[in-house]
Amino acid sequence: MTQETPSSEARRPDRAALAIAAGIAIVAAIIAYSTATAVGGSATRIGPAVFPYAIAGGLFILAIWTAFEAMRGDFPEREEQRIQPVVWIVGGLVAQMLLLHITGFAIATGLLFAATARGFGKGPLWMTVPIGIVLSFIIWVIFAKGLELSLPAGPLERLI
């Protein structure tokens, strides 16, 4: 956020909270639209469409209420956030998600481990990546072999 909000100043409309209100309203609209266009449905009066409409309605009211509180600046003050750690951790999760079926569990999860540690300021990656891979490999052995959990295997796991 670019806008500075010193606490001594009078509260002004909270843009982020307004965005939440808009988001909730959009979700409500999607639920209502998806329910209205659903094919089939049961012949009884109280079919599978009743609850979705009720929840969409509820969300819509909450969106208006949120917008109202946002205009009054009623939302609690937020701590300033650091973006970089979030990018590292989300990047780690994305890497694991995409690589899981290509490189197997150990390498994909090792990267997630290293990226998370990096997000908390622990480096260097050439050290944390191998640590993560070794750790994940041990976990793979315990859970895939010991507890018969279906964890995807890659080149590393096929060695044993």
Partner 1 sequence: MDSFALLAHGFAVAFQPFNLLYALIGVTLGTAVGVLPGIGPALTVALLLPVTYKLDPAGSLIMFAGIYYGGMYGGSTTSILLNTPGESASIVTALEGNKMARAGRGGPALATAAIGSFVAGLIATMALALIAPTIVKFALSFGAPEYFALMMLAFMTVSAAFGDSTLRGLTALFIGLALGLIGADGLSGQVRLGFGIPDLTDGVEITTLAVALFAIGETLSVAASKSTGEGKIEPVKGSVWMNREDWSRSWKPWLRGTFIGFPIGAMPAGGAEIGTFLSYSVEKQLSKKPEEFGHGAIEGVAGPEAANNASAAGTLVPLLTLGLPTSATAAIMLAGFQQFGLQPGPLLFATNPQLVWGLIASLLVANFMLLVLNLPLVGLWVRLLSIPRHWLYAGILVFATLGTIGANPSTFELGMLLLFGLLGYFLRLFGYPIAPVVVGLILGPMAEIHFRRALQISQGDFTVFVGSPISVILLLLAVCAVVVPLILRARGKGKVLAALAANED
Residue 106 · residue 137 · CB < 8 Å: yes
Shortest CB 5 distance to partner 1, Å:
14
Q: How far is CA 143 from the centre of its chain?
A: 25
What are the residues whose beta carbons fall under 8 Å from the beta carbon of 159, sequence distance 6 or more? none
Q: Which residues contact 71 (CB under 8 A, 6 or more apart)?
A: 13, 18
Q: Does 11 bind partner 1 (CB under 8 A)?
A: no
Q: Which of 25, 137, 151, 154 binds partner 1 (CB under 8 A)?
A: 151
80 interacts with partner 1 by CB under 8 A: yes
By CB under 8 A, the residues from 100 to 119 that bind partner 1 are: 100-101, 105, 109, 112-114, 116-117, 119
Taking CA atoms, 72 is separated from 26, 36, 66, in Å, by 22, 34, 10
| Residue 124 touching partner 1 (CB under 8 A) | no
Give the whole-angstrom CA distance, residue 144 versus residue 134.
Answer: 15
Picking from 27, 15, 21, 26, the residue whose alpha carbon sits closest to that of residue 78 is 15
Q: Is 97 in the site for partner 1 (CB under 8 A)?
A: yes
Q: Does 143 bind partner 1 (CB under 8 A)?
A: yes
Considering only 7, 8, 9, 79, the residue that binds partner 1 (CB under 8 A) is 79
9 binds partner 1 (CB under 8 A): no
135 scored as a contact of partner 1 (CB under 8 A): yes
Asked if 41 touches partner 1 (CB under 8 A), the answer is yes
Binding partner 1 by CB under 8 A: which of 46, 124, 126, 160? 46
